[in-house]
Amino acid sequence: MTVNPNTTVNELMCQFAEHFPFLRLALYEGVGSKKRAATENDFALKTGEKSVEIKFESTAKVRDFIDNLENKIGWKVQILRSSGKLYIETSVTDQWTLDRQNQEGAELSSNL
């Protein structure tokens, strides 16, 4: 996916969801009490670049994908995995691949 200054957070999240339907991409800025989640209408690119290429590779480890995406777009990134009706952080399992996280989310969601 090519992300340019007109790409919205919603467009980026939708593209990610097409590849990994049991994962959720969350973007935010700041820390602690000054933390602000990106809204769907925010622009996805905050680095001043004209465009960046984002690859949603199923074999990428979650930690590597997060680090790469943060460097490219300028937002802090979090990946959440479906667990039934809830989404949980993947930070404990961030050495898993995106595909493994997605498969785990599918299994947890199908047990309802």
* Residue-wise pLDDT tens digits, 58-78: 999 999 999 999 999 999 999
For residue 67, the 8-state DSSP code is: H
Round the average pLDDT of the chain to a whole number and report it.
93
Q: What percent of the chain has pLDDT over 90?
A: 80
CA distance 2 to 29: 21
Q: How far is CA 65 from CA 41, 86, 106, 107, in A?
A: 23, 22, 20, 22
pLDDT number for residue 27 = 96
Backbone angles phi, psi at 23, to 5 degrees: -120, 155
pLDDT number for residue 67 = 97
CB 5 within 8 A of CB 43: yes
pLDDT number for residue 37 = 94
Q: For 34-59, how does the pLDDT look when each residue is reduced to its tens digit (9 = 90+)?
A: 899 999 999 999 998 999 999 999 99
CA distance 12 to 58: 16
CB 73 within 8 A of CB 46: yes
Confidence band for 112, pLDDT divided at 50, 70 and 90: low
Question: What is the reported pTM?
Answer: 0.90
CA distance 93 to 100: 10
Backbone angles phi, psi at 106, to 5 degrees: -65, -45
pLDDT number for residue 111 = 66
Please determine, for residue 85, whether its predicted confidence score (pLDDT) is greater than 90: no
